């Protein structure tokens, strides 16, 4: 697997944290150029702080972390403390970060990096609402053809929705941003709920992570202990879904995933279905494909990878 340069755009969030740890534990496959925080699961003041806490947990206080947009393009921010807790990272007790937040806006970092690095060499990994990336595309449309790929967690087809009956959280929070990203022309790989609801941390899988006995392993086990109560109560599922780590796992082991190259459009007009990812899974619309939309996951392979990599931190 060739080394891939990435920027992680994120709203940590316990599952974002695990996605970041997986990337930072995989330097042979992934070079993280920086982390851009966006408002989502919790407000920006917390997501940028949480991102730095996670970098320190990974032993990477040198990582560049930038704060980005504090609200969606045109809508009021909706947060998800009911899932992630008051801090967004409830579960473990992690120390406040000592590494500084970088000067400058996350959107400028995205634009500057995409303009400076060779065209087609930087992949954007989006783990939250797409506000930062859409704002960068608006500000600097010339970056779109320079993006190697956008790999994002968002949307659903068979699973339909989690924040409303028809919408997944990341897309629902900023549907106009999602619409722009899905139309930008860069190659898109999408991890919808259809896949992430298969990445369930069962008691046995969490015990294996806890048994690593390292600060990162223990913190991840405590995060999923906290995070799972929501999905257990709501879906009766066997543990917490690790949504966002599907993005970084795909960079390392794409063979663990299966999907279809199809057309995906975002609903931005209807109050009833706002933020729905209208995924043409059955290829009936005649609209041109714009995304590889994943549908299946080898969950045992995914957890074997995650546990092994967390053990390296």
Which residues lie near ligand BDR (CB under 6 A)? 13, 15-16, 41, 80, 83, 127-128, 153, 162, 168-170, 243-244
Determine whether 243 is an active site residue. yes
Tokens of 132: 């930062």
Q: Which residues pair with 297 in a beta bridge?
A: 257
CB distance 113 to 122 below 8 Å: yes
Q: Closest separation between CB of residue 128 and Ca ion, Å? A: 4
CB distance 166 to 273 below 8 Å: yes
* 169 contact, one of ligand BDR, Ca ion, none, CB 5-8 Å limit per kind: ligand BDR
Q: Which of the following is catalytic: 82, 105, 243, 261? A: 243
Q: Closest separation between CB of residue 24 and ligand BDR, Å? A: 17
CB distance 96 to 54 below 8 Å: no
Candidate residues 68, 72, 91, 128; the one interacting with Ca ion per rule CB under 5 A = 128
Q: Nearer to ligand BDR by C-beta: 41 or 149?
A: 41
d(CA 135, CA 111): 10
> Per-residue contact track with Ca ion, 5 to 44, x per CB under 5 A?
------x-x--x----------------------------
Q: Which residues pair with 151 in a beta bridge?
A: 125, 189
Q: Closest separation between CB of residue 83 and ligand BDR, Å? A: 5
Q: Nearer to ligand BDR by C-beta: 157 or 169?
A: 169
User: 3-state secondary structure string, 92-124?
Assistant: CCCCCCCCCCCCCEHHHHHHHHHHHCCCCCEEE
**Phi, psi for 306 (deg, rounded to 5):** -60, -45
The C-alpha torsion from 217 through 218 and 224 to 225, rounded to 10°, is 150
d(CA 69, CA 173): 13
* 162 contact, one of ligand BDR, Ca ion, none, CB 5-8 Å limit per kind: ligand BDR
* 58 contact, one of Ca ion, ligand BDR, none, CB 5-8 Å limit per kind: none
* 83 contact, one of Ca ion, ligand BDR, none, CB 5-8 Å limit per kind: ligand BDR
Catalytic site residues?
243
């Amino acid at each position: 697997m060739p080394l891939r340069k990435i920027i992680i755009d994120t709203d940590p969030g316990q599952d974002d944290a695990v996605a970041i740890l997986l990337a930072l534990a995989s330097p042979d496959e992934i070079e993280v150029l920086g982390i851009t925080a966006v408002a989502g699961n919790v407000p920006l003041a917390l997501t940028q702080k949480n991102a730095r806490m996670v970098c320190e947990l990974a032993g990477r206080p040198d990582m560049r972390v930038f704060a980005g947009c504090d609200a969606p393009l045109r809508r009021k921010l909706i947060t998800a403390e009911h899932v992630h807790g008051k801090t967004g990272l409830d579960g473990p007790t992690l120390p406040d970060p000592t590494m500084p937040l970088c000067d400058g806006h996350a959107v400028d970092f995205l634009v500057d990096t995409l303009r400076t690095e060779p065209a087609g060499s930087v992949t954007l990994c989006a783990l939250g609402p797409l506000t930062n990336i859409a704002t960068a595309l608006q500000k600097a449309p010339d970056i779109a053809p320079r993006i190697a790929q956008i790999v994002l967690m968002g949307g659903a087809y068979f699973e339909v929705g989690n924040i409303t009956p028809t919408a997944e959280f990341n897309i629902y929070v900023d549907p106009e941003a999602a619409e722009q990203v899905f139309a930008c022309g860069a190659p898109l790989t999408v991890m919808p709920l259809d896949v992430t609801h298969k990445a369930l941390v069962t008691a046995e899988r969490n015990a294996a992570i806890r048994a690593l006995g390292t600060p990162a392993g223990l913190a991840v086990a405590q995060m999923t202990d906290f995070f799972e109560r929501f999905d257990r109560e709501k879906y009766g599922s066997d543990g917490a879904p690790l949504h966002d780590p599907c993005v970084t796992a795909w960079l390392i082991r794409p063979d663990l995933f299966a999907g279809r190259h199809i057309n995906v459009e975002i609903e931005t007009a209807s109050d009833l279905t706002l933020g729905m990812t209208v995924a043409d899974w059955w290829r009936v619309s005649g609209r041109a494909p714009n995304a590889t939309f994943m549908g299946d996951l080898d969950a045992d392979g995914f957890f074997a990878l995650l546990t092994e990599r967390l053990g390296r931190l």
